[in-house]
Every structure is written in C-alpha cells, then in structure tokens.
Amino acid sequence: MKEKNMNYDVIIVGSGFAGSTLARKFAEDNKKVLIYEKRNQISGNMYEETLDSGIRVHKYGPHIFHTNDKEVFEFLKQYGEWYFYEHKVLGKINNVLVPIPFNFKSLELLFPKEEADEIKNKLLKKYPDIQKVSILDLIHDSDKTIREFGEFVYKNVFENYTAKQWNIPISEIDKSVINRVPVILGYDDRYFQDKYQFMPKYGYTKIFEELLNHKNIDICLKTNALTEISINDNKIYWKDKEYKGIVIYTGEIDELFNYKYGALPYRSLDLVFENYNMNYFQSSSVVNYPNEEKFTRITEFKYFSNQLIENKTTILKEYPKKYDYKDDSSIPYYAIINDENLEKYNKYYELVKKVPNLYMCGRLAEYKYYNMDAVIARALELYKKVGNKNEKSK
C-alpha cells in the first residue's frame, strides 16, 4: 500500500507493537495515520511466517506473550483469538535435560538423592514462605551447602549462557541482571509466573493485520522512512517540506541522527532454521544449551502453534553475534545497556527533546529491552500524553 493522502496528522516509523499500537489509537481518534515500514511486512520482530509445510515460525526469534497488565491484554484481545499457553523450558546440564528456571525437579535430576534432600530441606527452612529466590542470595548464603548449590547453578545455568549471549566476561555483567536469575523453591516448572499467558491462535501476523485494519491507517512497506523524513534546525521535514504533524519514531535513534555521536551497540543473532521429517524434534518448545554448544537455545515451533502436522517439524537455533549497523542484513536485537552506551543514548535524546512533535517509542528508539507487554503499555501511555489530550510532554 502507498500513501494516498498528503494530509496525515501522524506519521509513524515502524510497524512493531510500538508503532502499530499507536497507529490504532490515533486512527480511532479520527487522525489520519501513515506508517513507514522498512521491511516487506508488518509486525516488527513479532512477524510470523508460514512455511510450505504449513508450520508457522517466528522469523525473528521465539516470542511468548505473558503479562500481569490487564489493560494490555484487554487491548490485544480485541484484535484476534488467543489461547492459554504456559511456557516451559528445559536446559541441557551435564547431558541431562532439566527444568529451567532451576527447580526442585532439576535438583533431583542432577544430584544424588541424599544430597538433593539435604539441599531442599535447607532451602525450605531458610526461605519458608517464598516461591523463588535469587541466585545472588544463594551464592552469598552463610550456609556452605546452600552456597555451593548456588555456585553450581550459577556456573552451569547462568555463567556460560550469559557469556555466550553477550560476549563479555561475566565480571562485567550488571549485578541487577544476575539478581533476576531465580531458583524455584518447589516444583513449579513454568518459565513465567504472570497472570495472563497466551499465544495468538492464528499467529502474531494476523493480530497485526487486524490491529492495522482501519480506514485511517495507510502503510508504506519496503520504505526506509529516513528517505522521506529528516530533522533540520530542530524541525521535522517530510518530503522536503516542513511537517507540523506528530511523528512517532520506533526505529534506531542513532540512525535518525545519522550516527552523529557514533553507533549504539547491540547484540545480534544468527537464526538458523532446520526442517525435519519427524513429528517432534525435542520434548519441549524451548531447550537451552548453556554450556558446550555454540548456540544458546533450540525452539521447536509446533509447540507454540498447536498445529497438527504429521511427520514434519521446524526448529530454530540461535547463535549470538555482534551487530553491524553498516550491514543491511544485520539486525539489532538486544541493546547493550551500560553507562557508556546510556550516555551516548542520552546525547541523542537531547536532540529529540528540541524537536516539537517528535516522539520516541519502542526498544530501538528508547534503546531499552522491552517485553511485548511493556512496549504496548509504553505506547498506550504515550498515546494518553500526546494523543487525545494533546499534552506535549515526551
């Protein structure tokens, strides 16, 4: 689809959850919206494609929806059917597949019975009323048994996986990240404990098609918005004329300013899909490989889509690698959050603040790790600020 109307109230760069949520909200408020999307398809990193076998795969890595935010789930429910799905992950540790996050079952599978019983008893005594404990607390515990158990989990589940993912020594990993790695004090083997855990019945792409299906929304695919939009003297230009409407930008902030302060670094991934003539390749949707292998995890998509396709399955192996902003085929997946990079980001953001009606939203524009629910919540919040109320705070 091309732009039809030259009088757009809002121009949105990017059709992931950040851009598409805002597009819908503005459109329902009777604003004319134009979306630019560089790729040949909508949906950002949630894009799902159907292979010749009929199997639906997540082209940019596995995406599982989970949230405690009722408003976000109520918003999404309007655009398609969702089915209840609780995510479970296994990890290959010492050649045994055990539940991840590490729980009592993992403990029993990897330790001799007597030792496992002793650790479980000590943990329950020390933490009688909680469901999970941070690995950081365990490795600093005063009890030697608990401490050594914590060190085992740290070394076998967390350390190598994290080093592979980020390619930095573990000593440089922020303590807050380590603090989020839990050990479950019981047998709950769900990966997430959120109140709402669902997958879209017909895939994420269908949800996006519905979300953007509105008479006030036009979409330009395969168009880098920065061929049409530029910032000059703190003003927005669109098609070489000053543009007075609202611009919501969800792409890379450094690209918007032509890398003036240098490129913001990201980790990227080589995503390798493999097809097999068998019903299932593995016993869980995701198996983590923290240690020996070069990839971090294998995802088998049939578990997500509940598709009854016999003797065929597709898996995905993820190999972490560096992102190269000069290479068009390289994809920025994870922002590398540290003081130096945040300082660079803030310099770019100072430029944004000077431009009236220009707003940043989403994982690339805000240089943040957002889960899907958090990015939708952020888009809904931004809409409340700049949309119907016309408050101009960023």
Ligand X SMILES: Cc1cc2nc3c(=O)[nH]c(=O)nc-3n(C[C@H](O)[C@H](O)[C@H](O)COP(=O)(O)OP(=O)(O)OC[C@H]3O[C@@H](n4cnc5c(N)ncnc54)[C@H](O)[C@@H]3O)c2cc1C
Single-letter amino acid code for the residue at 359: Y
Establish if 61 lies at the interface with ligand X (CB under 6 A): yes
Residue 19 CB, shortest distance to ligand X, in Å, is 6
| SS3 category, 7 | coil
> 107 or 360, CB closer to ligand X?
360
Distance of CA 282 to the CA centre of its chain: 23
**Among 53, 134, 224, 307, interactor with ligand X by CB under 6 A:** 224
> 61 or 186, CB closer to ligand X?
61
Cα–Cα distance measured from residue 225 to residue 247, given in angstroms and rounded to the nearest whole number: 11
Tell me the C-alpha to C-alpha distance, in Å, between residue 254 and each of 34, 119, 143, 328. 22, 49, 48, 15
Residue 333 CB, shortest distance to ligand X, in Å, is 4
Cα–Cα distance measured from residue 69 to residue 92, given in angstroms and rounded to the nearest whole number: 32
CB 73 within 8 A of CB 159: no
**Among 10, 15, 26, 103, interactor with ligand X by CB under 6 A:** 15
CA angle 286, 338, 184 (to 5 degrees): 35
Establish if 37 lies at the interface with ligand X (CB under 6 A): yes
> 35 or 123, CB closer to ligand X?
35
The H or E element containing residue 116 is: helix 113-126
Establish if 305 lies at the interface with ligand X (CB under 6 A): no
Establish if 296 lies at the interface with ligand X (CB under 6 A): no
Residue 52 CB, shortest distance to ligand X, in Å, is 24
Residue 2 CB, shortest distance to ligand X, in Å, is 14
Contacts for 89 with CB less than 8 Å, ≥ 6 apart: 99, 100, 191, 284, 285, 286, 287, 288, 297
Establish if 80 lies at the interface with ligand X (CB under 6 A): no
**Among 10, 11, 18, 212, interactor with ligand X by CB under 6 A:** 18
Provide the b/e sequence for 132-161 (b: ≥16 CB within 10 Å).
bbebbebbebeeeebeebbebbbebbbbbb
Please, which of residues 342-381 interact with ligand X by CB under 6 A?
362-364, 370-373, 375
Residue 107 CB, shortest distance to ligand X, in Å, is 26
**Contact string (CB under 6 A) for ligand X, positions 139-178, x = contact:** ----------------------------------------
Establish if 250 lies at the interface with ligand X (CB under 6 A): yes
Cα–Cα distance measured from residue 356 to residue 390, given in angstroms and rounded to the nearest whole number: 12
Residue 37 CB, shortest distance to ligand X, in Å, is 5
Q: For the chain, count helices (H), then strands (E).
A: 13, 22
Establish if 63 lies at the interface with ligand X (CB under 6 A): yes
203 is written with which tokens? 């895939």
Residue 343 CB, shortest distance to ligand X, in Å, is 22
**Among 8, 17, 154, 301, interactor with ligand X by CB under 6 A:** 17
242 strand-pairing partners:
237
> 358 or 364, CB closer to ligand X?
364
Establish if 36 lies at the interface with ligand X (CB under 6 A): yes
Residues that bind ligand X in the complex, under the rule CB under 6 A: 13-19, 36-39, 44-45, 61-65, 224-226, 250-251, 333-334, 362-364, 370-373, 375
